């Protein structure tokens, strides 16, 4: 599934997919310094085939090293510009950052508990009930958002 299609899925589907993939993987996606990466944190994909939380939402056909460096760049690079700007200002963007925070900031042995805490958090309790991660999907050619 392409990245933009993941953004059209129910939040619980996205959470379940990322959780399953990361728990099966059992290690962080990191890489030493190279021309695109300063070596100070995690990568969407490493040379060992590991992926971070967001990396598990990026299709192989979409991935390139230039996406490394931040969620904003991924959203802008893999969705059309009107959708990207709307999504970046939505609670959906915060949700993806929470998922990424589990991969980047929580020890692997505590991932399972961190996903459970996120699932049970009051911050996202209502958000998880939504039928899509982001409801408005404006396109480059439309003058107004298409609401599904």
- The count of structural domains within the chain is 1
Q: Is residue 136 included in any domain, yes or no? A: no
- pLDDT tens digit sequence for 101-122: 999 999 999 999 999 998 888 7
Q: Which residue has the higher pLDDT, 100 or 85?
A: 100
Identify whether 43 is part of a domain. yes
Closest CA relative to residue 28, chosen from 100, 114, 116:
100
Which residue has 């939402």 as its token pair? 57
The pLDDT of residue 123 is 64
Residue 17 counted as domain residue: yes
What is the predicted pLDDT for the residue at 144?
34
* CA distance linking residue 105 with residue 86, whole number of Å: 27
What pLDDT, on a 0 to 100 scale, did the predictor assign at position 120?
84
The CA dihedral of 50, 95, 134, 24, to the nearest 10 degrees, is 30
Which of 24-38, 69-83, 109-123 is least confident? 24-38
- Is residue 148, in this structure, part of any structural domain at all? no
Burial of 69 from C-beta contacts in 10 A (0-12 / 13-18 / 19+): middle
Per the model's pLDDT, the better-predicted residue between 123 and 9 turns out to be: 9
User: What is the domain extent for residue 58?
Assistant: 3-128
């Amino acid at each position: 599934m392409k990245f933009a299609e993941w953004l059209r899925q129910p939040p619980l589907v996205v959470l379940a997919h990322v959780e399953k993939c990361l728990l099966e993987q059992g290690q962080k996606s990191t890489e030493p310094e190279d021309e695109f990466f300063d070596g100070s944190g995690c990568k969407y994909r490493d040379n060992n085939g590991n992926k971070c939380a967001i990396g598990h939402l990026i299709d192989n056909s979409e991935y390139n090293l230039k996406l490394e460096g931040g969620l904003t760049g991924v959203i802008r690079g893999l969705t059309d510009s009107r959708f990207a700007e709307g999504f970046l200002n939505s609670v959906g963007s915060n949700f993806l950052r929470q998922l990424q925070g589990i991969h980047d900031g929580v020890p692997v042995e505590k991932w399972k508990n961190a996903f459970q805490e996120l699932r049970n958090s009051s911050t996202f309790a209502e958000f998880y009930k939504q039928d899509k991660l982001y409801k408005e999907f404006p396109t480059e050619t439309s003058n107004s958002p298409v609401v599904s």
